Amino acid sequence: FRPSRVAVVVKTTRYEFEQQRYRYAGLSEEDLKQLLALKGSNYAGLLERHRIHTKNVEHVVDSLRNDKIEVRLVKRREYNEETVRWADAIISAGGDGTMLLAASKVFDKFKPVIGVNTDPERSEGHLCLPVRYTHSFPEALQKLYRGEFRWLWRQRIRLYLEGTGINPAPVDLHEQQLSQEQHSRAHINERLQDQRSDISGPHLLPVRALNEVFIGESLSSRYGVCSVLFRENFKSCKPSFKFSLHRASYYEISVDDGPWEKQKSSGLNVCTGTGSKAWSYNINKVAHQAVEEILNMAKNRGSLNMPLNTELVQKVTNDYNESLLYSPEEPKMFFSIREPIVNRVFSSSRQRGFSSKVCVRSRCWDACMVVDGGTSFEFNDGAIASIMIDTEDALCTVLLEE
């Protein structure tokens, strides 16, 4: 590992986001402080986290430049394909979300992407280097130079889209905080601007999923939106509420080229080994309480001839939850049907499981296919998605030896 040029992709902190959000309203820093207080946010806390992040970014950049490496520092919105082509390696400076963004534009299997957690106290950083290297990045660099690491090839999901009236133009969600209505409008605008919307497919989408792909209606649950109207002095406010009805996701699904099955649910999640520790795990994990109640029922029916205790319940709970996890390097996917509706019309023969290919035919009205929580594609009635893993899409990352 001896790069000459490195692109450092930097996250937008919450403090920066709030500044950008109200900049065009002409708010002063004091106005911003008062507004954040009204929202229950701590201005001083946000500013302190921003300063910690900035200091750690400077540490990474200075470490690289001290080793005569040319550095290009880019914010999330400035990060593009040209920057990726220019760099020999990509470093994400933020948390897991920044790492997902950095990885999303890298299609060269041999271009390393390395994550640095710039705020370890507030960010888990599963995809980043161990937190001790946040403050001692030169040590990490020396280990990389000496080869004291192993390459970790994280498998990724590729997506093909085909069917009637499909729109392969993505909407980037990383820098946008969109309401459901704004989200739908953004997809419509992308369709009007993109000349490829008439393609019937199959069309390989220009993104790879490192964590997961989620398919579902935009209104997957009932919600209430409270909007607050602020006066000039921020002294008074008028709340208003808007409610939308629940809309289940309606689609047909085929797993590993098996028969098509009509389903209604709260959506479909398909993850990689990397993503098996993320949203997928939280969808499928069981609680200690649930396992205890099931084992007690089995015992009461005479089907379980062993004493029940906390240690046994915890072991069964842990064994099941650990079975949901697998290596990021394994070329397979894990699909999960969220809250399936089962009746005489709709079925769900498999609620979860490993697969090499998942095909979904949309019967939805206002649905999206979201990749790693950051890129969204319109996915409505007539569209068909083929979801699979190709080992050529693997992301090159590193695992430092401890």
d(CA 139, CA 121): 21
Final residue before a domain boundary, out of 102, 128, 148: 148
Q: Which pLDDT belongs to residue 382?
A: 92
CB 76 within 8 A of CB 102: no
Q: How confident is the model at residue 166 (pLDDT cuts 50, 70, 90)?
A: confident
Per-residue pLDDT tens for 72-126? 999 988 899 999 999 999 999 999 999 999 999 999 999 999 999 999 988 888 9
Q: Which pLDDT belongs to residue 287?
A: 96
Q: Is residue 48 domain-shared with residue 138, that is, in the same domain?
A: yes
DSSP 251-299: EEEEETT---EEEEES-EEEE-TTGGGTHHHHHH---HHHHHHHHHHHH
Q: How far is CA 246 from CA 44, 73, 217, 219, 223, in A?
A: 39, 43, 10, 6, 8
Q: Is residue 81 domain-shared with residue 187, that is, in the same domain?
A: no
Give the residue numbers spanning the domain of 38.
5-148
d(CA 156, CA 106): 11
With DSSP H G I counted as helix, E B as strand and the rest as coil, what are the percentages for the chain, rounded to 5?
Answer: 30, 30, 40
List the structure tokens of 230: 């602020």
The enclosing domain of 173 has a CATH number of: 2.60.200.30
CB 228 within 8 A of CB 238: yes
d(CA 107, CA 401): 26
Q: Is residue 52 domain-shared with residue 200, that is, in the same domain?
A: no
Check residue 76 and report its DSSP letter: G
Q: What is the mean pLDDT of the chain?
A: 86
Residue 315 covered by a domain: no
Indicate the residue type of 401. E
Final residue before a domain boundary, out of 84, 119, 148: 148
CB count within 10 Å of CB 75 equals 12
Strands 89-94 and 5-10 turn out to be parallel
CB 251 within 8 A of CB 364: yes
Residue 164 covered by a domain: yes
Residue 287 covered by a domain: no
Per-residue pLDDT tens for 312-363? 999 999 999 999 999 999 999 999 999 998 888 887 888 999 999 999 999 9
SS (HEC) of 360-379: EEECCCCEEEEECCCEEEEC
Q: Is residue 125 domain-shared with residue 166, that is, in the same domain?
A: no
Q: Is residue 260 domain-shared with residue 354, that is, in the same domain?
A: yes
Residue 211 covered by a domain: yes
The enclosing domain of 101 has a CATH number of: 3.40.50.10330
Q: Is residue 142 domain-shared with residue 177, that is, in the same domain?
A: no
pLDDT at 197 over 60: no
Q: What percent of the chain has pLDDT over 70?
A: 85
Q: Which pLDDT belongs to residue 28?
A: 82
Least confident of 175-184, 269-278, 371-380: 175-184
Q: Which pLDDT belongs to residue 255?
A: 96
pLDDT at 15 over 80: yes
Place of tokens 């200075």: 62
List the structure tokens of 288: 């200690």
- C-alpha of 390 from chain center: 20
What is the count of structural domains for the chain?
A: 2
Collapsing DSSP to helix, strand or coil, 399 comes out as strand
Residue 54 covered by a domain: yes
d(CA 341, CA 286): 20
Higher per-residue confidence, 308 vs 314: 314
Least confident of 137-151, 217-231, 307-321: 217-231
d(CA 350, CA 265): 13
d(CA 111, CA 165): 35
CB count within 10 Å of CB 339 equals 15
Q: Which pLDDT belongs to residue 269?
A: 97
Check residue 93 and report its DSSP letter: E
Residue 303 covered by a domain: no
Place of tokens 């470490």: 63
d(CA 74, CA 8): 6
CB 6 within 8 A of CB 57: no
Place of tokens 């990885």: 103
Q: Is residue 35 domain-shared with residue 166, that is, in the same domain?
A: no
Q: Is residue 82 domain-shared with residue 179, that is, in the same domain?
A: no
Final residue before a domain boundary, out of 107, 130, 148: 148
Q: Mean pLDDT throughout 145-162?
A: 96
Q: How confident is the model at residue 29 (pLDDT cuts 50, 70, 90)?
A: confident
Residue 111 covered by a domain: yes
First to last CA, the chain: 17
Q: Which pLDDT belongs to residue 200?
A: 62
Residue 214 covered by a domain: yes
pLDDT at 228 over 50: no
Q: Is residue 141 domain-shared with residue 206, that is, in the same domain?
A: no
Per-residue pLDDT tens for 382-399? 999 999 999 999 999 999
Cis bond before residue 206 (omega within 30° of 0) = no
Q: Is residue 144 domain-shared with residue 180, that is, in the same domain?
A: no
Strands 223-230 and 237-244 turn out to be antiparallel
pLDDT at 243 over 90: no
Q: Which pLDDT belongs to residue 21?
A: 78
Among residues 344, 338, 210, which one has the least CA distance to residue 265?
338
CB count within 10 Å of CB 244 equals 14
CB count within 10 Å of CB 243 equals 8
Q: Is residue 71 domain-shared with residue 120, that is, in the same domain?
A: yes
Give me the sign of the Cα torsion angle 121, 125, 130, 136: negative
Collapsing DSSP to helix, strand or coil, 30 comes out as helix
Q: How confident is the model at residue 171 (pLDDT cuts 50, 70, 90)?
A: confident
Higher per-residue confidence, 185 vs 123: 123
Q: Is residue 133 domain-shared with residue 169, that is, in the same domain?
A: no
